[in-house]
Each structure stands twice: as structure tokens, then as C-alpha cells.
Structure 1
């Protein structure tokens, strides 16, 4: 098939996808793949192209119409925010993962971008309480094993929490914990706004040999209610930029003899 013909088919398929959205308000990657007899990779590429053109909004497993009201998860609402920064952070963080590692992966859109990069590693096992991340791996990363933590579903957020989650974490060990704080507050540490999520993050770091915090610059000195770890509790911090030197200053202020996390500025 010539390049011109291929482009024509893609344009026709994407127009048909927009017709589907007009009728149903949302579409899933699996539905597109089945309807048009294309791979999941092609279906996602179609949705990404349409999202870049401002014609729809991507969600964790598909897309939603920009013109019809639809209730989506909090994570889906944030999936197109600071995308380039999150992707750069994920690319830098994947260098901390070795073939065969067991990795705890936190909840959130930066964590999802990190998981998208795992196809460059082999024999990886992911521990997570996040349903979106487990769905993505099941759909797109057949070489990655998932250990799904049990627990109560936090409605609208697509992750599990509570005593069952904590008990499961207590029985496991990870080589690396990938943590996504809601904020970093100077003189306090890494923060989140949900107390049970703070428990999960702290516990995950406790069962891992190494830990890394992934944050885009909007999280630096942002608001946070619950501190789940001090600055020196992690081994690495990956950010897209150190806004106003917030992290550099905090690292310099650590007492002599304190472990100093490695600060990695992601290259965009």
C-alpha cells in the first residue's frame, strides 16, 4: 500500500471514529480495533492524532467527546495536563529499572506515562493498586506481569485502598517503588491529599529496596495536606524542572550526614 493510500485510509477511519463519538459520547481502543480491523497500536495512534487536533479528549482506555457531557474519573480529567513534561520524566525514570525488576507503581497520570515506557525492559513485574495502570498493562504490555493489590475502590479515582491493600503490601517486596506525590512542600516533604493514599505510598517505599519520586514542576511548593515521606526518604527525584530551585535548596539544607537523594532533571 502506498503512503498516500495509507494516509487516505487513516483519514477515513478517523472521520468514522468521530462519527462514533457523536453517537455514543465515548469510544474504547478495543472497540476501534475490532470495528476497523486494526491493531490496538493503530487505534491508539488514531485517538492520539485526533486529540492533538483538538477533536476529542483521551482517557485511559479510549476517548470522550468534547461536545457531550460524560462523567469520567479524576485521572482521566488530568491525562492531557502537562503531558510532555510527564513523558520526559517517565523517560528519565525508566533508566532506574533493570530487566527482571519488581516495581511498585503508584497511582496517577505520571505513573501511567512511566508504565508506557516499560516495553523497553524484559521480565518486569508491576505491583499496583491502580486499575488504569493494570488495564493498560493487560491491554498493551503482554510481557509485563501485574500483581494487583486488593482493597476498597475509591470511586472516581480508579485505585484501591484500605486494610486489604496494606496487608497485601506487607507480604511483598519490590526492587523499586515509583511514587507520585501530589506536592512537595519545603521543610515538610512529599505530600498527598488523601490519608489512605499517604499510607499506601509510605508502605510501598518501606517494602522497596529503592524509591523514586516523579513530579512535574507544578507539584513543587504546591498545596498538600498529608506528609507521607520526608525529602531524604527517597533515593531519586525526577522532575522536568526545578522551579525556583525548590528542590536544590531543600537538598542543600539537609543536615550533614543525611542521605541526599539524586536529583534528575528530565530532558524534554
Structure 2
């Protein structure tokens, strides 16, 4: 099969699924994963798709809102392993930020019995932590129904009034070049929470490593600790930039 025919098939799969992993491309097109990687790199250079760590993403997916329900259903085992490790660092008396990311939401199940204060813009986090010893501070502002989160100028002003010992945040992508978000709203909240915290934890399952997205909003200096289930070459690169990296086993 020629490159052009493979490229057409790759674009058809991205049109159907939005984001596709390398092994799925290989199975559908009936070629090796090495060939797929080479084709994806060539197509990304031509601006036909966005290359991710595990495959590729349709260009329009970068600006399409993704509902919280859809994101929460992906990579649950990895997210739980990440959050179980992170919960070990949360002690009674802590004041913490939890953002609206689907990975950070999975942290709730591991901290329900802790005597802490949680400041969050996530409606699912509030619902999950109700009727627990935790004191909840819901950030005010405009509600994004799809993301089940509070955003906007008022939200940032709210965040600026508080100080936390730790912030547990997520991103849509992280590379050696920096941090990426799917919207300016989410990037603004992430920056605001990080600026008001003593220690910033970035919670990223393997699908986020090496992935770029719509908006690069900061370099890696924002992050103190990265917790992930990924253990590839990028981890060494992150460590070289003075980020503590904890790799968990799923």
C-alpha cells in the first residue's frame, strides 16, 4: 500500500474516532507499527494531524470541548494508581487545591477520611466529598456544564484570596517544552491555583505524556512533582528540569 493510501486511511480513522492509538492504526491498515509511526510523523509535519505520544489526534479535536463524563471514563486504573500514590502525601491539616481534571477527581476516594480543607472549581469533587470530614470551598464563577467546572474572572479572583500547601492539577498534554491545555479557561485556573500553592503536583496518565494541545500556557517550571504511570524517555527529560517524578505501576 502506498503512503498516500495509508494517509487517507489514517485520516478516515481520525475522522471517525478523533484520536487513535498506533496499534489501532496498524491493525486497521494492516501494516507494522513502525510504518504507522513514520507515516504519522510525516503527516504531522504537513499539518494534517497532531502527533501524540501514543498515536495521533484529529486537528479539530484540539478545540472541541470534551465532556467531564467522557474524560472520566478513560484510563481509570492508571488514574486510580496515580491518585492512591498522591494521597499518601496529604496529611491532616492540609489546605489543598483540586482542579476540574478527571484524574484529580479520582483523588477524592482516597482522601475522604482526612481532616483537610479542599478548594476546588470541580462540581463532581464537591459532590464526591460531601458528608465527609473535609471542609469544602467551592470556587465561584461561571459554570461550564460540559466540563462540570467553574471558570472565569471571578473564579481567578476567588482563588487569589486563598493559600494552599499543595495543588493537585492536570493538563491536556505535557512535553519537555511545557504544559498544554484545551482552553484558556482551564489554563487560567491551573496557573492561578499553582501560584497560590507551596507545592504543585501534576497528575498525568501516560496518554498525556509527550502530547501537545490547543494552548501551551507555561513551561515546566510550574511543576514541582509529576506523578504518572508512564516510564519512558520523557521522564528522564522531566527530571533534568528539576521536577520530581513518581512513576506508578498499574
Question: Aligned residue for 2:88?
Answer: 95
Q: Distance in 1 between matches of 2:184 and 2:80?
A: 27
Unpaired segments of 5 or more residues in structure 2?
1-65
Q: Distance in 2 between matches of 1:180 and 1:233?
A: 12
Aligned counterpart in structure 2 of residue 226 of structure 1, from 204, 215, 219: 215
Matched, 1:245 2:233: yes
Aligned counterpart in structure 2 of residue 126 of structure 1, from 110, 115, 118: 118
Q: Distance in 2 between matches of 1:226 and 1:241?
A: 22
Deviation, structure 1 residue 79: 2.2
Partner-residue secondary structure (3-state), 1:227: strand
Rg larger in 1 or in 2? 1
Aligned counterpart in structure 2 of residue 112 of structure 1, from 105, 122, 126: 105
CA pair 152-239 structure 1, distance change in 2 beyond 3 A: same
Q: Which has the higher contact order (CA 8 A, sep 6+)?
A: 2
Unpaired segments of 5 or more residues in structure 1?
1-72, 255-259
Q: Which is further off, 220-229 or 164-173?
A: 220-229
Q: Deviations over 1:54-113 (max 9, x none)?
A: xxxxxxxxxxxxxxxxxxx81112222111100000011112211110110011221111
**In 1, are the aligned partners of 2:101 and 2:171 still within 8 Å (CA)?**
no
Partner-residue secondary structure (3-state), 1:76: helix
Deviation, structure 1 residue 131: 0.6
TM-score by length of 1: 0.66
**In 2, are the aligned partners of 1:185 and 1:224 still within 8 Å (CA)?**
no
Please list, as runs of the form range in 1=range in 2, the aligned pairs for 1:1-268 lying within 5 A after superposition.
74-121=67-114, 123-138=115-130, 141-187=131-177, 189-242=178-231, 244-252=232-240, 254=241, 260-268=242-250
Computed over aligned residues only, the root mean square deviation of the Cα atoms, in angstroms, reads 1.5
CA pair 264-120 structure 1, distance change in 2 beyond 3 A: farther
**In 1, are the aligned partners of 2:113 and 2:133 still within 8 Å (CA)?**
no
Deviation, structure 1 residue 120: 4.6
Count of residue pairs the alignment pairs up = 185
